[in-house]
């Protein structure tokens, strides 16, 4: 039975396949989705994003960003910086990856490039 953390890119995808049997999300994903609601350009888009957010909130109990995730974030941020990439623009991605690392599960994403420097520390599954 497979377990994994879904990146926000997977959560918002309408055609995501090959998901883990037991999927979880980070509280960071909810933060990104709430932000997306506020960024909607019109009432129709805002309503659709809010509907999707409500659906996701009813399906998942997000994993928190706690002390363990904070420690793992520091490690992953250092690896990202050592790999020549900016950390500040990747904070959400790094926190989601840190959540997967702490829980010892794969990170399911549609954006391999966002997590390339971390592949030695976090199992990345691109769907």
Q: What is the pLDDT of residues 54-109, one digit of tens each?
A: 999 999 999 999 999 999 999 999 999 998 888 988 999 999 999 999 999 999 99
Residues contacting residue 24 through CB under 8 Å, at least 6 positions apart: 3, 4, 5, 6, 60, 61, 62, 63, 103, 105
- Report whether pLDDT(116) > 90: no
Q: 11 by DSSP, 3-state: which?
A: helix
* Superfamily classification of domain 3-121: 5'-nuclease (3.40.50.1010)
Q: How confident is the model at residue 1 (pLDDT cuts 50, 70, 90)?
A: confident
- Report whether pLDDT(114) > 90: no
- What confidence score (pLDDT) does residue 18 get? 86
- What confidence score (pLDDT) does residue 50 get? 96
- Report whether pLDDT(8) > 90: yes
Read off the pTM. Answer: 0.93
Q: What are the residue ranges spanned by the domains of the chain?
A: 3-121
């Amino acid at each position: 039975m497979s377990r994994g953390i879904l990146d926000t890119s997977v959560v918002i995808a309408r055609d995501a396949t090959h998901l883990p049997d037991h999927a979880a999300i980070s509280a960071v994903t909810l933060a990104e989705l709430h932000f997306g609601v506020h960024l909607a350009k019109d009432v129709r888009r805002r309503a659709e994003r809010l509907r999707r957010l409500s659906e996701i909130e009813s399906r998942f109990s997000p994993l928190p960003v706690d002390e363990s995730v904070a420690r793992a974030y520091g490690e992953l941020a250092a690896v990202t910086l050592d790999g020549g990439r900016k950390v500040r623009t990747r904070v959400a991605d790094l926190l989601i990856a840190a959540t997967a690392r702490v829980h010892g599960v794969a990170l399911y994403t549609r954006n391999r490039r966002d997590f390339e420097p971390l592949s030695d520390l976090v199992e990345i599954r691109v769907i």
